[in-house]
């Protein structure tokens, strides 16, 4: 995913499913080329490369 799309997802009120290495995550913040995410269903947060995030159901973002 590119940084601009990650920022759009972060700012929208819609629920958009995002995965990191096949695991659903919630984007908490974008810092340069890094995203802070929370693994869905857990309290686990981590910093990951924005480029490694995937928007489920699309191939262009």
Averaged in consecutive runs of 10 residues, what is the pLDDT profile of the chain (61 residues)?
96 93 96 97 97 79 44
Burial 20-35 (b: 16+ CB within 10 A, else e): beeeebbbeebeeeeb
Cα 52 from Cα 32, distance rounded (Å): 14
Res 1: pLDDT: 96
Q: Give the CATH fold of the 3-55 domain.
A: SH3 type barrels. (2.30.30)
Res 57: pLDDT: 67
Cα 61 from Cα 16, distance rounded (Å): 12
* pTM score, whole prediction: 0.86
Res 4: pLDDT: 96
């Amino acid at each position: 995913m590119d940084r601009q799309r990650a920022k759009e997802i972060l700012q929208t009120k819609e629920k958009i499913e995002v995965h990191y290495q096949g695991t659903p995550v919630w984007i908490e913040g974008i810092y340069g080329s890094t995203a802070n995410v929370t693994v869905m269903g857990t309290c686990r947060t981590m910093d990951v490369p924005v480029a490694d995030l995937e928007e489920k159901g699309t191939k262009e973002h």
